[in-house]
Amino acid sequence: KLTPPEKLPGVGDLSQTALLKALRGEPVPHTPVWFMRQAGRSLPEYLAVREGVAMLDACADPELIVEITLQPVRRYGVDAAIFFSDIVLPLKAVGVDLDIVPGTGPVVAKPVATLADVEAIPDLTPEHVSFITEAVRGLVGELAGVNGGTPLIGFAGAPFTVASYLVEGGPSKEHARTKALMFGAPEVWEALMRKIAGISATFLQVQVEAGASAVQLFDSWAGALTPADYERFVMPHSADVLGRIGDLGVPRIHFGVGTSNLLDLMGRAGADVVGVDWRTPLDRAIEVVGPTRGVQGNLDPTLVFAPTDVMTARAAEIIDAGRAARGHVFNLGHGVIPSTDPDQLARLTEFVQSYPLA
């Protein structure tokens, strides 16, 4: 029933771009590169358009979404755009009382603790996020004309990471309340995971149906879990989200931080490509992930603060290691740090795209 994004009217064929080839595990002309949080506070043009506009207001404004998503694509010529939004936006869209506080992150007014709290959260419908459909359609049209056609990566938060904000009420280092709910109230936990999985799957589906060429599921905080707890309490719900998107026929990237011990499970949850943070050597990640899936990563985001030749030498090591993978997409091991010099990211992009693979 779905029109593949590359077949949408007015949109060129993006299936032969370096990004989509790498995500499918096919040979590439160069290693494709994009950066998590490539749009955002490291860019003066981002700070200029965000002046006086709250984060969640920006995320609900199609024109701003299009402009902010395009900014790093224009500046760097990266191989993919990442949709500008936030993992908590769909919660806001269904009416959860939350805000994104500058310098802090998402803050939830009434944290979730009981089954009634979970049941009070409505399921997401495409109508809740019609501005997302509008923004993605506009973006896909614009991106068709950038550098011969640039694919858009849609994204959502994975159930565990989104649950952490809902249960803690804000950012957390230990995720103690979240894990206490998981260990101590399994029926509430199951209901919460199912609720978020449905919301995240619909959020991704809306982006794919409007023309996103690939998706990334962010389970940023999954590294707080042991493999056994991840497999039992979290993986089935992330697998549910990834399975539903797999049915739509677009490649799926599954990313987390501090997930050295979870990479195998995160792949088996239904990813085509597993995102790797900088703590795990890429050759080890490739071994763990196996020959049926690709990898994405994984330059330490602080290396862009080093001298350019030091940064590019490390990037070369990562590209060389990536050749052993079923497919490799170059990225940082986590998001761009806000104080990053954009000129250094431009040099890194150029280096990765011109690095010979033969």
Binding residues for substrate: 37-41, 86, 165, 220, 334
Nearest residue (CB) to ligand CP3, 252 versus 326: 252
Nearest residue (CB) to ligand CP3, 90 versus 294: 90
Task: Specify the DSSP class assigned to residue 38.
Answer: -
Min. distance of Cβ 38 from ligand CP3 in angstroms?
Answer: 5
Q: Among 127, 133, 124, 126, which residue's Cα sits nearest to residue 154?
A: 133
* Cα-based torsion angle of the residue sequence 38, 41, 42, 44 in order, rounded to the nearest 10 degrees: 110
User: Where does residue 271 fall: left (phi above 0), alpha (psi -120 to 50 degrees), or beta otherwise?
Assistant: beta
Side-chain half-sphere CA neighbours of 55 within 13 A: 20
Nearest residue (CB) to ligand CP3, 105 versus 290: 105
Min. distance of Cβ 250 from ligand CP3 in angstroms?
Answer: 16
Name the phi and psi angles at 137, rounded to 5. Answer: -60, -45
Which residues contact ligand CP3 (rule: CB under 6 A)? 36-41, 50, 55, 82, 84-87, 100, 102-106, 155, 171, 218, 220, 335
Beta bridge partners of 132: none
Going by the annotation, the residues of the binding site are 37-41, 86, 165, 220, 334
Mapped onto helix, strand or coil, the DSSP state of residue 233 is helix
Catalytic residue selected from 61, 86, 229, 283: 86
Catalytic residue selected from 46, 50, 76, 326: 50
Min. distance of Cβ 342 from ligand CP3 in angstroms?
Answer: 13
Name the phi and psi angles at 97, rounded to 5. Answer: -80, 100
| Residue 86 known to be catalytic | yes
Mapped onto helix, strand or coil, the DSSP state of residue 97 is coil
Q: How far is the C-alpha of 124 from the C-alpha of 134, rounded, in Å?
A: 17
Nearest residue (CB) to ligand CP3, 220 versus 296: 220
Min. distance of Cβ 200 from ligand CP3 in angstroms?
Answer: 12
| Residue 283 known to be catalytic | no
Contact 177, 168 (CB under 8 A): yes
Nearest residue (CB) to ligand CP3, 79 versus 326: 79
Name the phi and psi angles at 147, rounded to 5. Answer: 50, 45
| Residue 165 known to be catalytic | yes
Catalytic residue selected from 46, 76, 165, 230: 165
| Residue 355 known to be catalytic | no
Min. distance of Cβ 266 from ligand CP3 in angstroms?
Answer: 14
Residues forming the active site: 37, 41, 50, 86, 165
